[in-house]
Amino acid sequence: MFSERKTPVDTGIKVLGRQRWGTRICQIFSSAGDLIDVAVPFINHGLSNNEYCVVVSAEPLEKDEMAEVLSGQVWGCKKFVSTGQLEVVSYRDYYCGNGSYDFGITMNSFMSRLNHAVEHRFDGMRIIGNLSWLEEPGRGKAMFCEAKINEMLPDFPVLGLCSYALKECTTAELLNLVAAYDYVIVRLHNDWDILDNGKRKREAEELKKVNERLSSYAENLSLAVKQPLANIMLGVDMLDSILEHNNIDDLRQEMFQIARTIRNYAGSAFSQAEELLDRARKTE
């Protein structure tokens, strides 16, 4: 079964770096070189991490052309193909029924590959899709269906990368893509950059708020226990002094009193710490 690895994984895409499982990436490309530039490191990192990698190919790189590219740029490519860790499949076989996009076939294609990854005990799955072949009037419906599949990804150890041709996308479709994916990357001035959909900013702001709350609780916890702990230390010092300078039998009652006081202070510190921690849990 899939690994329960919780830490982020390296996408191999420099601008994205390490990402959590379930991340949905959209690539807007202008050429075959753009596809290769992103697909090769994405797949290489997946294979080296014992992940099942699937490449759904379409123009401008059909199945045989993509397989040739990977064979030349992915070390051990033939071995990975023969062991079932790497698959290159045509968009016709992955997406289509009767030559057009079919949501049921696409869902079955995705789930069968997911089952393959589970059965072969891979640590995750990476899948590259290509929807640049879509034409109107069915493109809008297909993009809507793909968004529904994307909603499933966070439930699995899967990284999804889907490619769209810039020349085929309308402005409205680009805006929909920005909303549907966690990240949309596009080449600007020879470097890949992220089209910000505001999600990263919201996540950063929420993380900042969480850190501020944690800092506040830590400060309150520190203040709440400092005085009781200081009193405890004072009591310990008093016991040390008694033990050093007096006959214990003659001062038994005084020692019991000090012990009770220390116990009370310790209990107070513990209760205040528990109260603060309980409040912190309720705000999570």
Band of pLDDT at residue 197, cut at 50, 70 and 90: low
Tens of pLDDT, residue by residue over 62-111, are 999 999 999 999 999 999 999 999 999 999 999 998 888 999 999 999 99
Tens of pLDDT, residue by residue over 243-255, are 566 665 666 666 6
CATH number of 183's domain: 3.40.50.300
- DSSP code, position 276: H
Tens of pLDDT, residue by residue over 113-158, are 999 999 999 999 999 999 989 887 777 888 888 888 888 888 899 9
Range of the domain at 250: 203-282
User: pTM above 0.85?
Assistant: no
**Among candidate residues 168, 197, 226, the one where a domain is terminated:** 197
Is 3 part of any domain? no
29: closest CA among 69, 73, 60?
60
129: closest CA among 61, 175, 192, 187?
61
Q: Which two tokens stand for residue 26?
A: 């959209």
Are 110 and 163 members of one domain? yes
For the chain, percent of residues with pLDDT exceeding 70:
70
Are 178 and 234 members of one domain? no
Cα 86–87–90 angle (5° rounding)? 155
Are 122 and 220 members of one domain? no
Taking 80 as the threshold, does the pLDDT of residue 203 lie above it? no
Are 233 and 137 members of one domain? no
